[in-house]
Structure 1
Amino acid sequence: MESTLLTLFNGASLGSILLLIALGLAITFGLMNVINMAHGEFIMIGAYVTYIMQTIFIKNVSEQYFDLYFLIAIPAAFIITAAIGMLLEVSLIQFLYKRPLDSLLATWGVGLMLQQLARTIFGAPNVGVTSPSFLKGGLEAAGLVLPYTRIFIIFLVVLCLGAVYLYFYQTSNGRRIRAVMQNRQMAECLGVQTRKVDLMTFAIGSGFAGIAGCALTLLGPIGPSIGTYYIIDAFMVVVVGGVGMLAGTVAGAFGIGFFNTLFEYWTTATLGKVLIFLLIITFLQWKPSGLVGTKSRALD
């Protein structure tokens, strides 16, 4: 029973991490059809924003308020990463819509430049971020110790999902975004400013990548290449869930998380990764549109 509960918790924890990483990509790739290979570098920017915020608090704030740095770093990572995403969209991405191969190559080059910029500013070695005191230790339940950091990430994912749902389905801006993604020409005819919608959508997707980077600082040291470790997993989640479907992204993230945990428990970490790739390939052969297919009235 203890091993079963631990496996379930580890699967939920890994799924929540994958979901937080893939949430921004589900917006930029799934809704905008932009293959953003620099998504991993946006994760890196969010992680370094957290590191900078920690450094500022160490030098300028008393120790009793040190824990506040992480709570401030979460919105700061979102805002700063979203601003950089807006700059990238205005300067490059807007010229590459409906050109997936060009966007892939261009954003891959941007990602390499951002990595080198991070090495120049912060150095090549990894740096550590101290977790706030309220996230140290774990919750004892059923003879197990569940780390507070993992529990916090799960709750953070729930909050982010709730924010995305409210924005896309309960606000006028969200309705404009969904209208543009479903039928751009008709939205333009109805007076929707599609350029503004594109800019805001890409910024929101980039901002959630920054939040993911902030959360990853709770799991270990960070470095210029931290985003490259997760970009493939993020694309797997979006493709398995169904391109453009946020509900499918949630199901894909937790599905991959649970199966990956089970395979690693039965075999080894390396073989488990191989098995999850084989499972995904087999699944896509059976259902190439993903878990949740896109419904449209447009004629092919």
Structure 2
Amino acid sequence: MLDTLLWWLASPLDYGFMRRALAASIALSLTAPVIGVLLTLRGLSLMGEALSHAILPGVAVSFLLAGFSLPLMMLGGLAAGLVTVAVAGGISTLSGLREDAAMASLFLVAMAAGVMVMSLSGSPLDLGHVLFGSILAVDTPTLMLVALAGSAVLVTVAIAFRALVVECLDPTFLTLQGRHAGWFHALFMGLVVSTLVVGFQTLGTLMAAGLMLLPAAAARYWSRRLEGMIAVAVGMALASSVIGLLGSYHLELPTGPCIILLAGMGYLASLLAGSRGGLLQRREPARLPADATLPRHRGRP
């Protein structure tokens, strides 16, 4: 039994492409859930999904102009995402419309424009690669780029962590401390876009937000502390990535969907059995401590 388990875990790593895919998935799992937790605390989870589609036009234009050059495609996606964030913020400021509502309107237009541009290349295979990713096709330069970009995101979060959390919970207080909350909001949205751009090579623009949002949403059912939520979210993302990657190899299934489906199963399990607001925990009757006594009504023996 143990030999079978060791073979199941180790045999895929005999191949270089599996080792690179594992390293890329681990790098993404260490980055995306941290941003996802902060995003869910702000009540902007759907904005992450919208931004994952909004980077498509930049990726498509870069591909059309320079072919399959990952650095240029990532720069194009980053530019498209930042422009979408800026336009959504401008619409929200000028019209009073909520920023997430403005983003929902823009990402549909952006995604349609991206698909239209990709279709001009005449290769539906390339469109599928951009939309759904190909983690097994990660080469060494791509892996280094993903690792460096992910590390840059984590270092930025670590440096500005306190300000990002305060801006999330009470932007007015941050302003009273002499720091403009709007700058930190812009910084955070830039980090969201950067994380999605890092993930599009492995999971594609359609599923890049999955590893960001699903573990973060599940973590809220296990902890009420920010540090605890981040730890749980990262742990669930790592488990989903590793098990999904190995399972897809042995079962001959697409890797990206396997990873996201496992993350979704983790969310459903947390919703059901989580110790902090899970459905089963809510249905349990309140139990008195062993040394507790029931109050006695006055006037009765």
Residue 15 of structure 1 contacts residue 258 of structure 1 at CA under 8 Å; is this kept in 2? Answer: yes
Counterpart Cα distance in 1 of 2:31 and 2:118: 23
Counterpart Cα distance in 2 of 1:16 and 1:49: 29
Counterpart Cα distance in 1 of 2:73 and 2:264: 34
Task: Please name the residue that 2:124 is paired with.
Answer: 126
Task: Please name the residue that 1:253 is paired with.
Answer: 237
Q: What SS does the corresponding residue of 1:166 show, helix, strand or coil?
A: helix
Counterpart Cα distance in 2 of 1:206 and 1:25: 10
Q: What SS does the corresponding residue of 2:179 show, helix, strand or coil?
A: coil
Compute the displacement of 1:209 (Å).
2.0
Residue 33 of structure 2 contacts residue 237 of structure 2 at CA under 8 Å; is this kept in 1? Answer: no
Compute the displacement of 1:186 (Å).
2.2
1:15 paired to 2:63: no
- String of CA shifts for 1:46-99, please: whole Å, max 9, x gaps: 5325414524xxxxxxxxxxx9x54454445434432332222332488426xx
Change over 3 Å in CA distance of 1:175–1:24 after alignment to 2: closer
Q: What SS does the corresponding residue of 2:138 show, helix, strand or coil?
A: helix
Task: Return the TM-score normalized by structure 1.
Answer: 0.61
Change over 3 Å in CA distance of 1:169–1:228 after alignment to 2: closer
Count of residues in correspondence between the two structures? 246
Task: Return the TM-score normalized by structure 2.
Answer: 0.61
1:38 paired to 2:50: yes
Q: CA RMSD in A?
A: 4.3
1:239 paired to 2:217: yes
Residue 167 of structure 2 contacts residue 174 of structure 2 at CA under 8 Å; is this kept in 1? Answer: yes
Compute the displacement of 1:274 (Å).
6.2
Letter in 2 for 1:209: L
Residue 19 of structure 1 contacts residue 253 of structure 1 at CA under 8 Å; is this kept in 2? Answer: yes
Letter in 2 for 1:15: S
1:190 to 168, 177, 183: 177
Residue 22 of structure 1 contacts residue 249 of structure 1 at CA under 8 Å; is this kept in 2? Answer: no
**Correspondence list, 1:169-248, <5 A:** 169-170=158-159, 175-213=162-200, 215-216=201-202, 227-241=205-219, 247-248=231-232
Compute the displacement of 1:114 (Å).
1.5
- Structure (1/2) with the larger helix percentage: 2
**Correspondence list, 1:27-66, <5 A:** 29-30=39-40, 32-34=42-44, 35-36=46-47, 37-55=49-67
1:5 paired to 2:10: yes
1:158 paired to 2:147: yes
**Correspondence list, 1:242-281, <5 A:** 247-264=231-248, 269=253, 277-281=264-268
- String of CA shifts for 1:89-113, please: whole Å, max 9, x gaps: 332488426xxxxx3x654443222
Counterpart Cα distance in 1 of 2:31 and 2:262: 21
Change over 3 Å in CA distance of 1:30–1:192 after alignment to 2: same
Q: What SS does the corresponding residue of 1:128 show, helix, strand or coil?
A: helix
Counterpart Cα distance in 1 of 2:11 and 2:190: 37
Counterpart Cα distance in 1 of 2:33 and 2:261: 24
* Structure 1 unaligned blocks of 5 or more: 56-66, 98-102, 132-145, 220-225, 291-300
Q: What SS does the corresponding residue of 1:192 show, helix, strand or coil?
A: coil
Counterpart Cα distance in 2 of 1:161 and 1:264: 24
Letter in 2 for 1:33: G
**Correspondence list, 1:62-141, <5 A:** 69-92=69-92, 95-96=97-98, 103=100, 107-123=103-119, 126=124, 128=126
Counterpart Cα distance in 1 of 2:56 and 2:87: 17
Percent of aligned positions with the same letter in both sequences?
A: 11
Counterpart Cα distance in 1 of 2:263 and 2:237: 12
Counterpart Cα distance in 2 of 1:209 and 1:110: 17
